[in-house]
Amino acid sequence: MLEPVQRIPRYELLLKEYVQKLPPDAPDQADAQKALDMIFSAAQHSNAAITEMECLQKLWDVYQRLGLEEDMVDPSNELLHEGPIRKISFRHSSTMERYLFLFNNMLLYCVPKVIQVGAQFQVRTRIDVAGMKVRELNDVVFPHSFLVSGKQRTLELQAQSEEEMNTWIQACQQAINQVGKRHETFKAAVQGLEGDTEEHQLKSEELGIRAPQWVRDKMVTMCMRCKTPFNALTRRRHHCRACGYVVCAKCSDYKARLKYDDNRLNRVCLECYVFLTGNLLPEDKDDKKKGILEKESSKVSEQSLMCSFLQLLGEKWGKGSSRGWCVIPRDDPLVLYIYAAPQDMKAHTSIPLLGYQVTNGPLADPRVFQLQQSSLVYSFRAESEELKGQWMKAIDRAARGQSFIGPEGELSD
């Protein structure tokens, strides 16, 4: 069966050699060149047909591995990349085994079947490449992780190595670029009408249209709206399906229709409910004036002179030692704010640093340092001696009233 296909490239090679060896004034020079051009076009057509058949065969193989559930055997579909991946859980500090199929127009997020009878995987979510975004996540807990954000769902995924992560990011970006080129004319027209000044408004208009990135439960200890601490019995964690914030039941006791979920009703927080429905705020939920501790940790940390986890030692912080996310903001460089978690909306306490003396702690642990003012003593332990030195230098300058933003955004006299 391969003989007819193999003859075409053989004819092409023979004709090339024949034309090369013909004298320039040979009577059949023109006919030989015309025959070579015809056989070259036939070879190209044959190769294209073989490539198309191979692509269709790959699609059929995937179709069978999915249990004939997804309708993907289409000549316009092209399988770009596939492979196992780990999905990072928003509720638990763990990962789960998953499998991805990336096509030129969609990403299939699948779960491996335990009993593989007729199918190896079950499709959980289909994410359209149109409107999809992908970027690397700088996550210390989960290295080699990246974010895939689509209109249908947003996923935090972890690869086994940096090379594998880069391969997935490049493959996804390739698919996104291909779709972008097809709609280049339409995008240019839309951007020309909207203008650059509408960029912030367009981002807010994506609320409810694109699946949000959920904030992980472990990153917060209090409701990100009302700032009330969570507990296991009376105030549990919930996620707003529109913005992805971790909120309490009281702040998420609203439902709105979300376009990315086929306009079904979903649990949302009060702010998203007002934005999506246009209903006014209830009278008993008017905005209150923010207190001195109500600085959102994530925003403060992005614009901080110093921030990291520190162990809080001594009886002042309760029994035993606890861990706190400590921040010295750029807009308030003489105060140390202490949060329970990096994404908290309100600090547990603040320490005005003016007048304090910063000293080394006991020699038994070189990572410990202390803040002392008359009878007040606060003890901290850094994760390394280098980090301890940075904290002591920053706090010492603030305590002497010498800390302010220099011309390059650093601590300066």
pLDDT 10s digits, 219-234: 888 888 888 888 877 7
Residues 336 and 259 in one domain: no
Check whether residue 232 and residue 330 sit in a common domain: no
Does one domain contain both 88 and 58?
Answer: no
- Which pLDDT belongs to residue 320? 58
- Give the domain CATH number at 394: 2.30.29.30
User: What is the average pLDDT across 49-76?
Assistant: 72
Domain end call among 237, 256, 285: 285
Picking from 35, 65, 95, the residue at the C-terminal end of a domain is 65
331-382 per-position pLDDT tens digit: 888 889 999 888 888 888 889 888 889 999 887 889 999 998 888 888 999 9
Q: Where are the alpha helices (DSSP H) in 183-283?
A: 184-194, 199-205, 270-277
Residues 175 and 138 placed together within one structural domain of the fold: yes
96 and 58 co-located in one domain: no
Among 88-102, 161-175, 232-246, name the most confident range. 161-175
Q: Which domain holds residue 133?
A: 79-192
Task: Work out the pLDDT band at 303, boundaries 50, 70, 90.
Answer: confident
Whether 160 shows a pLDDT value over 90: the answer reads yes
Same domain, 305 and 260: no
- Token pair 């990135």 is found at 213
The more confident residue out of 292 and 95 is 95
Number of other CB atoms surrounding residue 303 within 10 Å: 12
Same domain, 301 and 408: yes
Same domain, 308 and 271: no
Is the distance from CB of 350 to CB of 292 less than 8 angstroms? yes
Q: Do 399 and 303 share a domain, yes or no?
A: yes
Residue 72 falls within a domain, yes or no? no
Residue with more model confidence, 133 or 200: 133
The model's confidence at residue 71, banded by pLDDT at 50, 70 and 90, is low
In angstroms, rounded to a whole number, what is the distance separating the alpha carbons of residues 92 and 86?
14
Q: Is 204 a domain residue?
A: no
Determine, yes or no, domain membership for 393. yes
Are 138 and 163 in a shared domain? yes
Q: 23-32, 284-293, 315-324, 391-400: which range is least confident on average?
A: 284-293
For residues 391 and 44, the model is more confident at 391
User: Tokens for 178?
Assistant: 């291909």
* CB within 8 Å of 18: residues ≥ 6 apart: 32
The residue out of 236, 261, 285 marking a domain boundary is 285
Does residue 304 sit within a domain? Answer: yes
Domains identified in the chain, total number: 4
For residue 74, tell me if it sits in a domain: no
Within-domain flag for 312? yes
Q: Could you tell me if 305 and 269 lie in one domain? A: no
Report the pLDDT averaged over residues 28-53: 76
CA-to-CA separations, 104 to 168, 224, 397, in angstroms, rounded: 13, 38, 55
State whether 303 and 378 are in the same domain. yes
